[in-house]
Amino acid sequence: MTAPANEPELREPDLPRTARVRPHALRTGWTTGTCASAAAKAAAQLLHDGQPRSWVEVGLPSGRRITFEVARCEPVAAGAEAVVVKDAGDDPDVTHGAHLTATVSWRPGTGVELAGGEGVGTVTRPGLGLAVGGPAINPVPHAMITQAVTEVVGDRGVRVLISVPDGERMARRTTNRRLGILGGISILGTTGIVRPFSTAAWRASVVQAIQVAAAQGVPTIVLCTGGRTERGAMALLPELPEACFVEVGDFTGAALSTAAAHGIAHVVFVGMIGKLTKLAAGILMTHYTRSTVDVGLLGRLTRGAGGSAELAAEVDQANTARHAYELWEAASLLRPAGELLCQRVRDVLVRAGGLPADVAMVDFTGRTVVAATSPGWLT
C-alpha cells in the first residue's frame, strides 16, 4: 500500500542481499505484537489530542522505526480505539488479515496497564513464561505496546485493551489449546518481523552462510536457532570469528550436510530446551508446523538424571518443554538433566552429519549456558 501525499511510506524490513536479488523472493511481514503496538499508539494519540491518525510510526526491538496504515481510529465510550490490519507477508500465517484492535483509556496513577480482550487468548497452564490467568501477550510485544503508548502520553496512567475480532476462530488452527491458551490467539513476536517460512529461501541462506564460513577456512561452525541464541553462542565462544556463527533456524539437517560437504571439522549447536528436545528425538526439521515436543523424552531424562518418580511423572505431563525446564530448575536438576539432553542431541548430530559435535543449552534470555557437553562452557 502507498502512503498518501505528505505521509511517510509503509516500509518493508530490509531483506538479506541474496533475497533482494532473487526474482521470486518471499515478502516479509509484521507480527501481531508489532501491529498491536501500532494500533495502541494510534488510539493513544487520539485519546491524547483528539486527532485521528491514518498513519502511525512505531519502534521495533532492533531500534528501527516502521510506519503503518491505520484502518480505523475513532472515539469510543471507553476512550479511543484504533485498528491495524496484520500483513504477514508471504508467511502461511493464520493471523494474516487479523484486525489488531487497541482500546485506550485514562486511568488513575501512572504507567501502562495492558489487558487482553475479545479474541486474545488467556493463559491457563504454566510453562509459557506468562502469568496463568493473564492474557497471552508475550514479553516483547508487551514492551513494544508500552513503548508506543508511552511515546504519546508519557508517564500518565492509561489502560490498553488489545482485542482481535475472530481471534478465537483463528486460534483453532494453532497449537494454542494444546498449550493451554484458551479463547483466542497469542500476541507474539521477538523481532517484530515475520520472516516467511520457506524451505527453499531459508535453507538457501543457511547453506550460503556455511559455504562462506568454509571458504574462510574456519574449522568450526556454531549453529544457533535464532538471534538470542546466537548472541549467547558468541559470548560462549568469543575466540571464534563472526563467520563461524550461523543462525540455522529449523534447518539443522541442511546445515549438517553442508558442513560435512565443505570440510568443516567440528559443529557446535546452541539452543533452548524446546529445539533441543526435538533434536534429541531425531527431528532435524524443528519448525512448529512440522513437529512437536516429546515431553515424555524429558521425563525419561529426568529419571536418568536421578530425579524422583514423582518429578519424572510431572515432567511427563508437562505442558511445554519450558514447563519441564522450570520443573527441573525448581528441583535443582537443571544441570544434570540438561547435560543428558545435550549428550543425546550430540549423538543425533554426529549420526546425521558424520562430524564431531558439541551442544550447549542456554536459558530463555539466550545469555546463560545452563548445560553443555563440554563442562568448561558452563557458567
pLDDT at position 170 is 95
Three-state DSSP at 81 gives: strand
Three-state DSSP at 245 gives: strand
- Whole-angstrom Cα distance, residue 122 to residue 141? 15
Three-state DSSP at 255 gives: helix
CA-based max dimension of the chain: 68
Of the candidates 81, 64, 63, the residue with the CA atom closest to the CA atom of residue 72: 81
Of the candidates 63, 211, 188, 71, the residue with the CA atom closest to the CA atom of residue 138: 188
- Regarding beta strands 112-116 and 156-163, do their DSSP bridges make them parallel or antiparallel, or are they unpaired? parallel
Q: pLDDT 10s digit of each residue in the chain, 379 long?
A: 334 333 333 333 333 322 333 334 567 889 999 999 999 999 999 999 999 999 999 999 989 999 999 999 999 998 999 999 999 887 778 899 999 999 999 999 999 999 999 999 999 888 778 899 999 999 999 999 999 999 999 999 999 999 999 999 999 988 788 778 899 999 988 787 876 655 565 677 788 788 888 888 889 999 998 888 998 899 999 999 888 998 888 889 889 999 999 999 999 999 999 999 999 988 765 444 444 667 789 999 999 999 999 999 999 998 889 999 999 999 999 999 999 999 999 999 999 999 999 999 999 988 889 999 998 887 5
Q: Answer for the pair 166, 118: CB distance below 8 angstroms, yes or no.
A: no
pLDDT at position 292 is 60
In this prediction the pTM is 0.70
Q: Which domains does the chain have, with CATH numbers?
A: 17-194 (3.30.2110.10), 199-377 (no CATH)
